[in-house]
Chain A
Amino acid sequence: MHVPIDYDTLRVIWWALLGILLIGFAVFDGFDLGTAILLPFLGRSDMERRILINSIGPVWEGNQVWFILGGGASFAAWPPVYAASFSGFYVAMFVTLLALILRPVAFKFRGKVDNALWRSVWDWALFIGGLAPALIFGVAFGNLLQGVPFRFDAELRAVYTGGFFQLLNPFALLCGLVSVAMLVMHGAAYVQAKTIEPIAGRARRAGMIASIVTLVLFALGGVYAYSMLDGYAITSQIAANAPSNPLRKTVEVATGAWMRNYERFPWSPAAPLLGLVGALLAAVMFALRREVAAFVMSAASVVGIVATPGLAMFPFIMPSSSEPNASLTAWDASSSHLTLYVMLIAVVIFLPIVLAYTAWVYRVLRGKVPSHIFEPGGHAY
């Protein structure tokens, strides 16, 4: 089959699509996770918690597909990344999966029995189901930025050489906190827009605090990355059209290497800037009670914050700290030319359709959580 797009171009497109899927996950499922984290703090009675849960009730299921699609797309487009990351982060991934298993059943089961203990168990399940993924994804990004200890054998079998607790280093934990603060900000913006007083007022205060915390922690991470963090750079000739085999290049480790893309591409500092300014403006909009604007600003901040490490690392996707030459990059960790092309066709056809009906569903469900769904015979969680 003739493929009308060059391999190197397709690889950049798929690198960008991986980023778009991650951003889609963070923006859409992010407010679900944030709302779940806020559940014990904003909902003081059973009815208030029901309102919070029902604010995301009709949409969380579709939102979660961004995560599932992110997994599927990295499997299809970046198989070595999928293989090395999930087996390397085995225990972290196991905890994440437990959290994500808890969510669907907690949503569905909570309202089905009228018992305080029963409901409190599922409330905590939702809280953990929101907090654990938010924290772990941030920690994972923190580790990606530092490099992950893995190597390949001669048959390209990825072997992880680190331990679980190694993942919990100070910089990674800082990234985890950025992620939690960011999603709490985003969740608070959503809750503020979908509920009425007194919940909306509590969400507003929580949102203001979370925006400022996000701003400070993200800036702190940037300062650390600029001054102390080792980055990676390819030192051999780059063969952007070569077959995907990560063992055929040399890589150096240098402090500040992650900043080089920001000098090379003058537009790219827009990402961290968006992260910072978005969080700042979100705080302002929370204060001004501008519900829609606060949500848009927190979403913008999320986009900027997720895009920042991605742009800094390009073309690296998963650097190896124990054997830098084995690092996985956009040029040597992709699927074949044909697979990338076929998958691109699928994305070009289906992603606009998905976005269109998702938009329609949100339109149908617009407005604050209506009260009549809580009456007998209504359809609420």
Chain B
Amino acid sequence: MDVAELSRLQFALTALYHFLFVPLTLGLSVLLAIMESVYVMTGLRVWRDMTIFWGILFGINFAMGVATGITMEFQFGTNWSYYSQYVGDVFGAPLAIEGLMAFFLEATFIGLFFFGWDRLSKPGHLAVTWCVALGSNFSALWILVANAWMQNPVGSRFNPDTIRMEVTDFLAVLFNPVAQSKFVHTVAAGYVTGAIFVLAIGAWYLLHGRHRAFARRSMTVAASFGLASALSVVVLGDESGYVTTENQKVKLAAMEGLWRAEPPPAAFTIFGIPDPERRETRYAIQAPWMLGLIATRSLTTVIPGIYELVDAAKTRIGRGVEAYGAMRSLTSAEPSADMRKTIEERQGDLGYALLLRRYTDDPAKATPEQIERAAWDTIPNVPVIFWSFRVMVALGFYFIALFAVMFYVSSRRAFERRRWLLRLAFWSLPLPWIAAELGWIVAEYGRQPWIIEGVLPTFLAASPIPAANVWLSLVGFFIFYSALLVVDLFLMAKYVRLGPAETWEIPDLATRQAPPGGVALDDVAHG
């Protein structure tokens, strides 16, 4: 494997690990804030116990999220230095604002969430908890603004003087329609993850007849919050699909296994075996009209298939080669006004010429076969995208059904009479993670071969570094992360088994001020 392949593998590995922790952080942070809000309003101790107990699990998860997240930010520089150079002007800004506006908020207040119980008033501590939840959600917003620009690079242009992409309209980057739909879809998926986590562990307690009042209340919150979230995920996911039709037609065609355009309205393929060798989807079972309705919200719009999209790519490669030639002449000789004009007009297709760099150093001399291959390179791995998408959607509908039933049962206060339902809830625990990782695959693997859709191919974006270095870090991260994940799961399981202590002792602010000298070692040494 070359450096770009290894770096992709490393990025996928670290991102998938990171994404084991992010959705739960998003969901649990809001659930904690809701539980503590009820505590402050009602003063009932069980709600404080809930906040503290789920808070411990949140803390273990959050530490892993931070640990794996640090790698993500610096990987752009270490492994994707040409990417950083080429688009840092646009992509870096939301990343930096994320740190400034969101992560600082979340990380500063999370310390106080754990250490502030006896130093803050009730509303004061509640405000801290909400700040943590707000921070984690803002964090997702800015990361997804950055990611959405990779999917739909708006508000920017290629500057031939600096040989990179630069911002022309920051508001367009910020209000990228892909960012909006991705943000709500991802955040809602995180809420579902948090809700199922609480639901499953609560069900386990009820199955074992432990912490009943605690578990019932936790499950009630999880069921109602989860139902609203699961409905949002599907509705907003549909919106995300609709936005995809606008600017990532190849991804949509791959999700559908749609090789050739059909007469509108297109049918939705419920089941099928996409065969990239023969370039067709076999054994397809289709629901008429559905795809036309979902993807275009109309019955007359044609959805292009993969063959049509490859033809379109060939045209764009041809136009991109002209822009590429002009760019080369600018860097080598005296810039001429004509060349600048060519770049200005053809720059939207410049990225397509870069696809040829896999086959030739000079795209202007590419043969028709090379152009043909480069055009087919624009098609991602169809079976993987096709199946990831279907399993993700099926899980989405399953979550709605599960939460709906749970919500009904909780309103009847009848959890414990339906043991099969409790078992089902418990065994559903891993499902939201599977759905989230599959969603990541559809969005990011479905974007290949582009690191930035239509602008920069992934294979060009990697750092020119020795492959041995990337092998070292790839294996290192894999071993390191896996070991930490095992420890993380062990600790989570340990604290779940311990369960909430029915009498958490939180020293009262009024009576338990720290002694002026601080710790007296003799007092605590036996503690």
Of all chain B residues, the one with the shortest Cβ separation from A351 is: B100
Q: B345 at the A/B interface (Cβ < 8 Å)?
A: no
Residue contact A72 to B92, C-beta cutoff 8 Å: yes
Chain A hits for B76, CB < 8 A: 75, 82, 86
Chain-A contact segment, one of B165-173, B233-241, B390-398, B440-448: B165-173
A94 near B96 with CB under 8 A, answer: no
**Residues of chain A contacted by B64 (CB below 8 angstroms):** 104-105
A154 at the interface (CB under 8 A from B): yes
B432-485 residues with Cβ-Cβ distance < 8 A to A are 463-465, 469, 472-473, 476, 480, 484
Residue contact A79 to B164, C-beta cutoff 8 Å? yes
B66 and A61 form a contact (CB under 8 A): yes
Comparing B26-34, B311-319, B372-380, B517-525, the segment that makes contact with chain A is: B517-525
Could you say which residues of chain A place their CB within 8 Å of the CB of B91?
A: 75
Stretch at the interface among A106-114, A213-221, A230-238, A304-312: A106-114
Nearest residue (CB) in A for B69 is: A68
With a CB–CB cut-off of 8 A, which chain A residues contact B60? 108-109, 112
**Cβ of B93 and Cβ of A342 under 8 Å apart?**
yes
Could you give, for residues 58-96 of chain B, a 1 whenever the CB lies within 8 Å of some chain A CB and a 0 otherwise?
011011101110110110111101101100111111011
Q: Mark A355-380, 1 if CB is under 8 A from B, else 0.
A: 00110010011011111111111110
Do B92 and A75 have beta carbons less than 8 Å apart?
A: yes
Partner of A108, one of B63, B112, B331, B472: B63
CB-contact partner of B524 in A47, A155, A351, under 8 A: A47
**Contact in complex: A101, B89 (CB < 8 Å):** no
Flag if A245 contacts B162 (CB, 8 Å): yes
A156 touches B163 (CB 8 A): yes
| B70 close to A100 (CB less than 8 A) | yes
Q: Is the CB of A109 within 8 A of B487?
A: yes
One of A139-147, A281-289, A316-324, A333-341 contacting the partner: A333-341
Chain B 89-116: CB-based contact to A (< 8 A → 1; otherwise 0): 1111101111111011101111110111
Cα-based distance from A47 to B99 in the complex (angstroms)? 34
B78 touches A90 (CB 8 A): yes
Given the known A-B contacts A87-B77, A90-B465, are A65 and B103 also in contact in the complex, defined by CB atoms under 8 Å?
A: yes
Contact with A along B34-50 (1 / 0, CB 8 A): 00000000000000000
Complex Cα spacing A354 to B135, Å: 12
Q: Is B120 an interface residue (CB 8 A)?
A: yes
Q: How many residues of B sit at the interface, in one of the four size bands?
A: 35 or more
A346, B102: Cα distance in complex, Å? 12
B209 at the interface (CB under 8 A from A): no
Chain A: minimal CB distance from B250 (Å): 26
Whether the Cβ atoms of B167 and A339 lie closer than 8 Å is yes
CB pair B523 A83 closer than 8 Å: no
Q: Of the candidates A59, A71, A112, which one forms a contact with B111 in the assembled complex, judged by CB atoms under 8 Å apart?
A: A59
- Contact check: which of B168, B518, B523 meets A368 at CB < 8 Å? B518
Interchain CA distance A160-B77 in the complex, whole Å: 13
**Complex Cα distance A158/B82, Å?**
7
The answer to whether B100 and A90 touch across the interface, beta carbons within 8 angstroms, is no
Given A79-B88, A82-B88, does the pair A159, B111 have CB atoms closer than 8 Å?
no
**Chain B CB within 8 A of A69 CB:** yes
* Any A CB within 8 A of the CB of B507: yes
Give A121 to B490 CA distance when docked, in angstroms.
16
Once A65-B108, A371-B519, A377-B506 are accepted as A-B contacts, the answer to whether A82 and B77 lie under 8 Å apart by CB is yes
Q: State the main secondary structure of chain A at its contact with B.
A: helix
Contact status of A72 and B73, CB under 8 A, knowing A104-B66, A335-B92: yes
Q: Are B92 and A76 in contact (CB under 8 A)?
A: yes
Contact with A along B502-527 (1 / 0, CB 8 A): 01111100001011011111011101
Interface residue? B117 (CB, 8 A): yes
What are the residues of chain A within 8 A of B97 when measuring CB–CB? 72, 343, 346, 350
Q: Is the CB of A158 within 8 A of B332?
A: no
Residue B213 CB within 8 A of the other chain: no
Q: Do the beta carbons of A98 and B476 come within 8 Å of each other?
A: yes
B81–A87 CB distance below 8 A:
yes
Q: B166 touching A338 by the CB < 8 A rule? A: yes
- Contact among A1, A98, A198 with B480 in the assembled complex (CB-CB below 8 Å): A98
A-B contact count (CB 8 A): 306
Q: CA–CA, A94 to B472, complex, Å?
A: 9
Known contacts A87-B77, A101-B68, A372-B512; decide if A379 and B92 are in contact (CB<8 Å): no
A69 neighbours in B (Cβ, 8 Å)? 96, 99-100, 103-104
A55 to chain B, nearest CB (A): 10
Of the candidates B81, B159, B512, B524, the one having the most CB atoms from chain A within 10 angstroms of its own CB is B81
The residue that A79 contacts in the complex, of B89, B131, B168, B495, with Cβ under 8 A, is: B89
B418 within 8 A of A: no
Known contacts A107-B63, A339-B93, A375-B527; is-contact A354 B100 (Cβ 8 Å): yes
| Alpha-carbon distance A367/B108, docked complex (angstroms) | 18
Q: Of all chain A residues, which has the CB nearest B91?
A: A75
Contact string against B for A residues 15-59, beta-carbon threshold 8 Å, 1 for contact and 0 otherwise? 000000000000000000000000000000101100100000111
* Distance of A109 Cα from B62 Cα, bound (Å): 12
- Asked whether A371 lies within 8 Å of B523 as measured between CB atoms, the reply is yes
B161 at the interface (CB under 8 A from A): yes
CB of B92 within 8 A of CB of A155, answer: no
**Do A87 and B104 form a contact, CB below 8 Å, given A104-B66, A155-B163?**
no
Smallest beta-carbon distance A256→chain B, Å: 32
Given A109-B63, A109-B487, A61 and B163 contact (CB-CB distance below 8 Å)? no
Contact B108 A371 (CB under 8 A): no
Once the chains are docked, how many angstroms separate the CA of A339 from the CA of B465?
29
Most chain-A Cβ atoms within 10 A of its Cβ — which of B70, B85, B463?
A: B85
Cβ of A228 under 8 Å from chain B: no
Contact B515 A72 (CB under 8 A): no
Residues in B whose Cβ lies below 8 Å from that of A112: 60, 491, 494-495
Interface code A161-192, partner B: CB below 8 Å = 1, 0 otherwise?
00000000000000000000000000000000
B78 touches A93 (CB 8 A): yes
Q: Do A71 and B120 touch (CB < 8 A)?
A: no
Q: Are A105 and B77 in contact (CB under 8 A)?
A: no
List the B side residues contacting A377 at CB < 8 Å: 501, 503-506
Residue of B107, B115, B488 near A64 (CB, 8 A) is B107
In the assembled complex, which residues on chain A have CB atoms less than 8 Å from the CB atom of B115?
57-58, 365, 373, 379
- Which of A58, A72, A102, A342 sits near B98, CB closer than 8 Å? A72
Given contacts A84-B81, A90-B78, whether A368 and B517 have CB atoms under 8 Å apart is yes
A369 in contact with B77 given A61-B108, A338-B167 (CB within 8 Å): no
| B514–A379 CB distance below 8 A | no
Q: How far is the CB of A89 from chain B (nearest CB, A)?
A: 8
Which residues of B sit under 8 angstroms from A354, Cβ to Cβ?
100, 104-105, 108
> Shortest distance in angstroms between A27's beta carbon and chain B's nearest beta carbon?
15
Contact B487 A156 (CB under 8 A): no
- B416, CB-defined interface residue at 8 Å: no
Is the Cβ of A75 less than 8 Å from the Cβ of B469? no
Question: In chain A, what residue has the closest Cβ to B462?
Answer: A87
Tell me the complex Cα distance, A152–B488, Å: 43
A335 touches which one: B88, B105, B517 (CB < 8 A)? B88
Contacts of B99 in A (CB 8 A): 65, 68-69, 71-73
A13 part of interface (Cβ distance < 8 Å) = no
A378 to B501, CA, bound (A): 12
Which of B84, B93, B464, B527 contacts A376 (CB under 8 A)? B527
Check B118 for interface membership: any CB of A closer than 8 A.
yes
| Shortest distance between the CB of B14 and any CB in chain A (Å) | 10
- Rounded to whole angstroms, the CA-CA distance of A202 and B131 in the bound complex is 37
What are the 7 A-B residue pairs with the smallest beta carbon separation, nearest first?
Answer: A79-B88, A368-B518, A86-B77, A370-B514, A76-B92, A58-B111, A62-B108
Question: Would you list 19 pairs from A and B whose C-beta atoms are within 8 A, ordered by A residue?
Answer: A47-B525, A58-B115, A59-B108, A69-B104, A71-B73, A76-B92, A76-B96, A86-B74, A91-B472, A93-B74, A94-B78, A155-B163, A158-B82, A335-B166, A338-B166, A338-B170, A343-B96, A357-B131, A361-B112
A-B contacts besides A76-B96, A343-B96, 15 pairs, CB < 8 Å: A58-B115, A72-B99, A79-B84, A80-B88, A86-B78, A86-B84, A87-B77, A104-B64, A160-B464, A338-B167, A357-B105, A368-B519, A372-B512, A377-B505, A378-B507
